[in-house]
Amino acid sequence: MTDAKNEGYLGNNLIKKAGIDIQYTEEELNEYIKCSKDPTHFIENYCQVISLDEGMVKFKLRGYQKELIQHYDDNRFNVVLASRQSGKSITSCAYLIWYLLFHPEVTVAILANKGAIAREMVSRIVTMLESVPFFLQPGVKILNKGSIEFANDSKLVAAATSSSSIRGLSINLLYLDEFAFVENAEEFYTATYPVVTSGKETKVIITSTANGVGNMFYKIYESAVHGQSEYKSFTINWDDVPGRDEAWKKETIANTSETQFEQEYGNSFLGTGNTLISSNCLLGMRSLDAEWGHDDFFMYKQPTPDHTYICTVDVAKGRGMDFSTFTMFDVTVSPFEQVAVYRNSMISPMLFPDIINKYAKAYNEALVIIENNAEGGMVATQLHFDIEYGNVFVQGQTKVDDIGVTMNKKIKRIGCSTLKELLEENRLTLCDRNTITELMTFINKGMSFEAAKGYHDDLVMNCVLFSWFVTTEYFHHLTNHQIKDLLYAEQQKLIENDLLPAGIFGAGNQTPEATSFVDNEGDRWYVKGT
């Protein structure tokens, strides 16, 4: 029998070459079986890592690292959000070497944003392999910077992330490192997903620190957190790492910035640099759990008697494409508050007015402001004429049926700039998670702002429409309770006397001038009411 201890791969006596036979002792055989079943036991006892302070040392797993290893072993699809320098990559490499050594005939692929980073992962695995005793090594047939092939026919390949990286390969475990920083990640994932999911036992491990919300990693992680996919999420927070306390946090922020800390260490998905709302403002937003939710309506605060509410509505252009939404705002006092939202991608424009009517009435006959696209005009007309909800804001000069607000460039520009001011100066409070998420992907495109590719801005447009409205003359009248009550009383007299002028409905005086205003472009704006 050849003395395996003196035989190595290409002169490296720490790596067993293929073809070396080993006569196992009973103790070694038992240990082999134990290692094959318990990756944590194998890693802590036989894998070494390079410590900056101590050099080569045994890999002593921290508590959260043990949990992470178990998470990988228990789940096929894994997505990990981790604080910077928390050891996620080295822990993942340790799991990969265990998987390769004790799973014959498998192929593991390591893909990273850059090929050099992926090859560095291979180097880490080789370092660990050198610390593994020969009786646990299957032997190496091929080893280079980008790949390893073992005698048990397991393989490791490393490359930069691209749609052609693993083309033609049958992958058993795919590891994507720092996936939030991969360019064209969505294109890659779309091309790769069918390949790696074709087998029943295929594993996927995706790890990254946060890098905004306009990327594929964020989408996968969020869907996992909310139980909307087959992925299982795992999070490593900055204070999970030993030695990191509030003093460390303060020092790190002092040397960088709070925004940088929250994104790199605090696992905060801050918006991209070209969002309408600043990163610092987005960072300070906190979503709340709804007090009550039913049929896509989420109530964050119940209606309060004598409070004034405004309901802004955005109607989807097609079912299943965008969301039909409305947002309820309390404008009684400053800061204004978001108190309820509705969001549904499948609601028919024929049914939507009934839902608006139901909740607008509940919120003290809220003033309803509807974006007047083709579908929005249909909803607004049905809401006012068929359902006879009276308190609808309308744009027009003399036409009774000109219901709704046409979202032109001017209104959107005013609405966006005002929304930015309201939020960044704490004059408007948002609490809905979907709204806040949309703001994080509401970015500059050309001369305007809109949702990043693959995301939605329907709830944001509710906020934009509301923000434009608060700049109007009528808003100031509306929020003056005495004037509002007076106008309502006068309107009732007109209705009773059948003297209502053409084109004017609802809370208003006897003249168009008292129930309308003229904007800078010469357009007169009216209010429909009871």
Q: Which residues are catalytic?
A: 178
| Contact predicate 500/509, CB 8 Å | no
Q: How many helices (H) and strands (E) does the chain have?
A: 17, 22
- Report yes or no: 154 and 108 within 8 Å, Cβ to Cβ: yes
Listed in sequence order, the residues at least 6 apart from 127 whose beta carbon sits closer than 8 Å to its beta carbon are 48, 49, 50
The amino acid at residue 19 is: G
Contacts for 329 with CB less than 8 Å, ≥ 6 apart:
309, 310, 311, 312, 336, 337, 338, 339, 466
Distances (CA, A) of 370 to 295, 376, 395: 21, 6, 10
Reading the block at residue 343, the tokens are 């969001």
Structure token digits, residue 1: 């029998």
CA distance 328 to 37: 55
The 3 state secondary structure assigned to 413-446 is HHHHHHHHHHHHCCCEECCCHHHHHHHHCEEEEC
Q: Residue 348: how many CB atoms within 10 A of its CB? A: 10
Angle, alpha carbons 496-499-505 (nearest 5°): 85
Look up residue 98 and give its amino acid. Answer: W
The structure tokens listed for 429 are: 């409070």
Helices 458-469, 433-440: inter-axial angle, 10-degree rounding: 90
Q: Tokens standing for 170?
A: 């049958």
Tokens of 107: 């192929």
Proportion of the chain in helix, strand, coil states, percent, rounded to 5:
40, 20, 40
Q: How far is 182 from 219, CA to CA, in rounded Å?
A: 14
What is the spatial distance between Cα 339 and Cα 430, in angstroms, rounded to a whole number? 8
Are 473 and 336 spatial neighbours (Cβ–Cβ below 8 Å)?
A: no
526 touches 512 (CB < 8 A): yes
